[in-house]
């Protein structure tokens, strides 16, 4: 079993090793290592188009992750008050949102947004005073909405699992001591589920920051970091692209590791 697990990890991560190695290549050829150098990292960070795409990705990822954390937590709290059959239906819907391929979500989101824009924009033109009514279109808002809706399912499943492990005894005890529902949530429930909320936020941030497929369909004229990398690869792979990929890889691994540590902290506190 250990050999099988090792083979699976080797299959997943072995192709990434050359990308990291050639990001330190001194030459311009991405497939021939001519010497060790970190110059391509400086060039990548000095690229104004790359920095602009990075800023877009950070802003979109933070906003969509924050929305996913807020609404995902609200959904998890609400699902705990549903009956078993109704809860099972919502569990299946949230699980389906996670396993559905990104290309399907991207196409479905694009079709839905176009339908909404075709209805809302004429209505705005009718009621808006003046000759230049606002026009809704693809851009930052559409990317944030698409990433936030998808990530909300992930946050909901994580927070819901934590809420289920708490039990109702501490909530009922708080009610017996005449605490209001808001006070119970603020002083009892929220501190217990906060590590799961933060873990869900970090995972949602990682997904949004790394996502290309959904953003490609709904970005419009805006450029995120994955879209910039894809456009650059079409002109040829250079050590600069490898440097960008390595930086994104390291950042993603750090975020996932932090989320994992938060989950472990939550489990250890639950055990105590």
Q: Are 122 and 184 in contact (CB under 8 A)?
A: no
Q: Are 161 and 81 in contact (CB under 8 A)?
A: no
Percent of the chain with pLDDT over 90: 7
The SS3 of residue 36 is strand
Average pLDDT over residues 98-127: 86
Alpha-carbon distance of 244 to 18, in angstroms, equals: 14
Q: Tens of pLDDT along 67-96?
A: 999 999 998 888 877 778 888 888 888 888
Range with top average pLDDT, 7-16, 179-188, 251-260: 7-16
Average pLDDT over residues 132-156: 87
Q: How many CA atoms lie within 13 A of 94 on its CB side?
A: 22
**Least confidently predicted of 62-71, 89-98, 167-176, 236-245:** 167-176
What domains, with CATH codes, occur in the chain?
49-271 (1.10.3720.10)
Taking Cα atoms as reference points, which of 70, 64, 65 lies closest to residue 194? Answer: 70
**DSSP states along 128-186:** SSSS------SSHHHHHHHHHHHHHHHHHHHHHHHHHHH-SHHHHHHHHTT--HHHHII
Q: Tens of pLDDT along 115-136?
A: 888 888 888 888 877 777 778 8
Q: Are 25 and 224 in contact (CB under 8 A)?
A: no
The answer to whether the predicted template modeling score (pTM) of the entire model surpasses 0.95 is no
């Amino acid at each position: 079993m250990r050999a099988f697990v090792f083979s699976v990890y080797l299959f997943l991560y072995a192709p990434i090793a050359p990308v990291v190695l050639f990001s330190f290549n001194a030459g311009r050829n991405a497939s021939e290592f001519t010497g060790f150098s970190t110059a391509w990292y400086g060039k990548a960070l000095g690229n104004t188009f790359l920095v602009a795409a990075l800023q877009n990705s950070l802003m979109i990822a933070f906003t969509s992750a924050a929305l996913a954390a807020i609404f995902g937590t609200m959904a998890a709290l609400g699902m705990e008050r549903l009956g078993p059959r109704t809860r099972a239906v919502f569990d299946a819907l949230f699980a389906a949102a996670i396993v559905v391929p990104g290309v399907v979500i991207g196409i479905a989101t694009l079709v839905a947004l176009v339908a909404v824009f075709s209805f809302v924009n004429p209505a705005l033109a009718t009621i808006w005073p003046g000759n230049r009514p606002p026009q809704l279109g693809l851009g930052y808002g559409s990317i944030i909405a698409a990433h936030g809706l998808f990530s909300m399912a992930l946050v909901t499943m994580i927070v819901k699992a934590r809420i289920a492990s708490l039990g109702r005894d501490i909530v009922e005890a708080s009610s017996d001591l005449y605490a209001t529902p808001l006070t119970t949530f603020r002083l009892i429930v929220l501190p217990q589920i906060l590590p799961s909320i933060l873990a869900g936020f970090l995972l949602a941030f990682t997904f949004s920051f790394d996502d290309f497929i959904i953003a490609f369909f709904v970005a419009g004229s805006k450029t995120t970091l994955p879209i910039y990398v894809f456009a650059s690869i079409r002109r040829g792979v250079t050590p600069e692209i490898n440097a960008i990929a390595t930086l994104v890889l390291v950042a993603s691994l750090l975020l996932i590791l932090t989320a994992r540590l938060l989950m472990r902290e939550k489990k250890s506190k639950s055990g105590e």
